[in-house]
Amino acid sequence: MTLRNISELLKAENLNAGCDLDIDIKHVKASDLMSDVLAFAESGALLVTGLTNNHVIRTCEIAGICAVVIVRNKTPTSETIQLSREKNIPIILTKMTMFEACGILYENGLRGIPAKTMPV
Amino acid sequence: MSLQIIYEEEFRIEGGNFLKAGEASCRIRTILKEIGIDNAIVRRVGIAAYESEMNVVMYAHLGRIRLRVTKEKVFLGIDDEGQGIPDISLAMQPGYSTATDEMREMGFGAGMGLPNIKKNADIFSITSTVGQGTSIEITVKLDGNGRN
């Protein structure tokens, strides 16, 4: 599914005009814990989060995540917006809660990343 | 043949500077990609570097990351001057954390950092002295494919 489709389904606002909305999203990771994202996310995934600081983008860059949905009508910090433009990682904003957003994406065929356990 | 250094650089990390935190790791990631290192390896080194960098920012006054790339491996050495870790085996347990609310608001401090660093390393070692600081060494071999 493309980010454009996802944006329509979530009635989302695109924060970075000119960014590529036709990128293909294969998996979704929903979390406010960036370490969790680093531990379990896969390259090419979409991140759904309620966090708005610049570590969202840094985490995406390191983990190879290609786009971010920020839920609950939150506005990212100016540093976050600036960094997302520099790193070419689109952010879309939705008024939906994380639960609603994930439910809609699941209903429309997107799936999460298979659960892995952390070796001790 | 084996010890020839392809690239070497040292990055300084400021404790408490959450805005700049992660810059060094993203730089390391870019360097490794430019050298032509396999994407899966770049990802593993990047995650280990970023978690280590965040630990320095969260728990230490200052620190440094030493990056060394040879034909066989990528080595990261992270040293900090900070509070140190009283019980390393406890700190290695997934979910154990001493993070403050501020750190958790940033999305960190879930007790996944050290286990995640270890998971992405082929060779991992950690030593710490309370009141002085912590030192971590990470080696990711280039002969195997990315494991993640």
Over 80: is that where the pLDDT of B62 sits? yes
Q: What is the pLDDT of residue A116?
A: 65
Assigned domain for A119 exists:
no
Closest C-alpha to A71, from A31, A44, A17, A111: A31
Assigned domain for B110 exists:
yes
Task: Work out how many domains chain A is built from and give that number.
Answer: 1
Angle at B73 between CA B71 and CA B77, to 5 degrees: 130
pLDDT tens digits for range A71-107: 999 999 999 999 999 999 999 999 999 999 999 999 9
* Range(s) of the domain holding residue B55: 14-141
User: pTM of the full predicted structure?
Assistant: 0.91
B108 at interface of A, judged by CB pairs closer than 8 A: yes
Q: What is the pLDDT of residue B148?
A: 41
Assigned domain for A116 exists:
no
Backbone angles phi, psi at B38, to 5 degrees: -55, 140
Assigned domain for A105 exists:
yes
Assigned domain for A40 exists:
yes
Rounded Cα distance, B70 and A113, in Å: 33
Over 70: is that where the pLDDT of B147 sits? no
Q: What is the pLDDT of residue B129?
A: 98
Q: For residue A84, what is the domain's CATH number?
A: 3.40.1390.20
Distance, first Cα to last Cα, chain B: 28
Q: Where are the beta strands (DSSP E) in B15-59?
A: none
Assigned domain for A50 exists:
yes
Assigned domain for B118 exists:
yes
Chain B hits for A51, Cβ within 8 Å:
106-107
Return the amino acid letter for B82: G
Assigned domain for A13 exists:
yes
pLDDT tens digits for range A23-79: 999 899 999 999 889 988 888 899 999 999 999 999 999 999 999 999 999 999 999
User: At a CB cut-off of 8 Å and minimum separation 6, what does A63 contact?
Assistant: A37, A38, A41, A43, A45, B43, B46, B47
Task: Work out how many domains chain B is built from and give that number.
Answer: 1
Best of B13, B25, B43 to substitute, by most chain A Cβ atoms within 10 angstroms, is B43
Q: A27-50 burial, b for 16+ CB within 10 Å, e for fewer?
A: bbbbbbbbbbbbbbbbeebbbbbb
Closest C-alpha to A92, from A6, A28, A33, A1: A6
Assigned domain for A115 exists:
no
The alpha carbon of residue B4 is apart from the nearest alpha carbon of chain A, in Å, by 27
B101 at interface of A, judged by CB pairs closer than 8 A: no
Q: Which of B47, B107, B119 sits opposite A118 (nearest CB)?
A: B119
* Range(s) of the domain holding residue A64: 3-110
Assigned domain for A19 exists:
yes
Q: What is the pLDDT of residue B144?
A: 58
Assigned domain for B2 exists:
no
Assigned domain for B148 exists:
no
